[in-house]
Amino acid sequence: MERKIRIAAAGDNCVDAYSDGNAYPGGNPVNVAVYVARLGGESTYIGAVGTDKYGKIMLDAIAAKGVDTSHMKVLEGNTAVTQVEIVNGDRVFGDYDEGVMADFKLNAEDIEFLSGYDMVVSGLWGMCEHELPLLKEKGATIAFDFATKLDDPVLEIAIPYVDYAFFSIDDQSEEEIRKFMLEMYAKGPKVVVVTRGEAGSIAYDGKEFYTYGIVPVDVVDTMGAGDSFIAGFLYAVCEGKTVPEAMADGAANSSVTLAYAGAW
């Protein structure tokens, strides 16, 4: 029997509360864990939820998608919530209440557990940047989503320990983006990837730049599209595929998520 790809995700989760009254579980690392399970892999998620109603909804929803939740933490207080509006099919973020995620931190047991996976994924709001050196010491391969925050202080803390660095940039020229990618590559990652919305993606592996477009689809909601790309890309990497093949798989996985409401 073929061994499953095993990808662990650690960091933030939040309930996306839409203005129409619907609420969906989400958050960058959580989404990646769910999409890895959707692809047929084995995934785990470590993060904190509160003792409020959203905490149970989040825990149950993640487990229902086949993601291991054995190391999740339930802390006294509220689960993180993001207010969301959909304007012409695009999500527009409103207020964000971090809730108990403000108190989340990986412990030694978590780090030992995570390092047993093929890949560990976290992100900008995941409160994991200070533990990345410990994960690296344990031999973990680390992916990190820096999102659109190109000058966030977390970037300088995290990037020396990151193998696969992801960014989202759609307001710069390709020339500007490539210059930025070279700067980021020099800080330590093996591969730097920039997603550009409808313009597709660019990746750099120290040898050459690769570009890939999108898989056209009738867009219902863009929530989770970038995280789907990351999951598809990393899953392909763990399968031993090339960077261009991983970009294609990322785009294909993203198109599935764009076709329905909510991240998952």
Q: How far apart are the first and last CA of the chain?
A: 29
Give the burial class of 186: count Cβ atoms within 10 A of its Cβ; 0-12 exposed, 13-18 middle, 19 or more buried.
exposed
User: Tokens in use for 226?
Assistant: 């970038």
Please provide the DSSP assignment of 71-112 as one string.
T-EEESSPPPEEEEEEETTEEEEEEEE-GGGGG----HHHHH
Q: Is the distance from CB of 65 to CB of 264 less than 8 angstroms?
A: yes
pLDDT digits (tens, 9 = 90+) for 103-152: 999 999 999 999 999 999 999 999 999 999 999 999 999 999 999 989 99
pLDDT, tens digit (0-9, with 9 covering 90-100), for 148-191: 989 999 999 999 999 999 999 988 999 999 999 999 999 999 99
Q: Is the dihedral of CA 78, 43, 114, 230 positive or negative?
A: negative
Tell me the pLDDT band of 263, cut-offs 50, 70 and 90.
low
Residue-averaged pLDDT of the chain: 92
Sign of the CA dihedral 255, 251, 29, 240? positive
The pTM score is 0.91
pLDDT digit string, tens, across residues 222-233: 666 789 999 999
